[in-house]
Amino acid sequence: MISKGIKCGRNRVARLMRENGIVARMARRFKRHKYKHELFRSTTNLLLDREPTNSKNQVWVGDVTFIRVGSKWSYLSTVMDRHTREIIGWSFSKNNDAQLVKESLLMATASNRNTPQTIFHSDQGAVYASKVFRKTLEEFDLRVSMSRKGHCWDNAFMESFYHSLKTEMVYFMEFRHLTEAIAHIMDYIGFYNYKRLHSGIGYITPFQMAKLAA
C-alpha cells in the first residue's frame, strides 16, 4: 500500500483484520514422522551383500505402480519371487495404502512356503513402512530389506515387470471400470507367469523356473 501513498502499520492491519473476521492462512508445518524416519535408517538393503539366489522363496520383492482407470489413478501392488521371476501375489485398488500391499503379501504367503530366512525387499515407500504392513511381515517371520533412498534400481526386477506389463498391455487399453482393469491385469499376470519366455532366466517361463527350483 506504500506505493499508493498509504501508510499502515502492522498493528493497524491486525486490528482491521480482527474487526472484519479475517484470519491469515498459515503454511502447515512439516511434521516429521519419527517412527518412519527411524525405521528407514535402521532397515538396510540385505540384497547388496547377498549371494545370488539359487532357489525359490529366498528373496521376495514388492512394489507398487499406478494405472489409470477412467479419469483417476488406481494402484497395483505385486510380490515377485526374485529367483523364479514369478508374480506370487498381487492386489489392485483405488487406494495406495497399507491394506493394498498387505493383501498382495497375504496372497504370496497363502501359496508359497516362506521360511525365517526369506527376505522381503521393497523401496522406502510409506505403505511399506506402515505399522500395519510391518506387523504382517512379523507375523509371517519375513526378514525386512529396503532399497537405498534414491536408488530405484535396487528393485530392478520388479521395475522390469512393470515395464513389460505397461508396454505389452496397459498402454493399449483404456480402462473405464476397476473390475475391467482387474480382469486384464489377472490375464496378463497369468500370461507372464505361464506363457511369456523370460530372458533373465534362460528363456523359460517363471512357472517353469519355479518347478525347476522346487
> Which tens digit of pLDDT belongs to each residue from 140-163?
999 999 987 755 566 889 999 999
> What is the layout of strands, in order, in the sheet containing 143-146?
87-93, 72-81, 59-69, 119-122, 143-146
Share of the chain above pLDDT 70, in %: 81
Distance (Å, whole) CA 52 – CA 187: 30
pLDDT greater at residue 140 or residue 42: 140
CB 130 within 8 A of CB 64: no
Cell of 144: 525386512
Neighbour tally for 192: CB within 10 Å? 22
Quick one: pLDDT at residue 28? 53
Distance (Å, whole) CA 104 – CA 158: 14
Distance (Å, whole) CA 68 – CA 170: 9
Each residue's pLDDT tens digit, 79-117: 999 999 999 999 999 999 999 999 999 999 999 999 999
Cα 75 to Cα 16, 137, 162, 181, distances in angstroms: 49, 21, 12, 11
Each residue's pLDDT tens digit, 129-138: 999 999 999 9
Domain boundaries defined on the chain: 56-212
Share of the chain above pLDDT 90, in %: 69
Q: Which CATH number fits domain 56-212: 3.30.420.10, 3.40.720.10, 3.40.50.300, 3.40.50.2020?
A: 3.30.420.10
pLDDT band for position 27 (cuts 50, 70, 90): very low
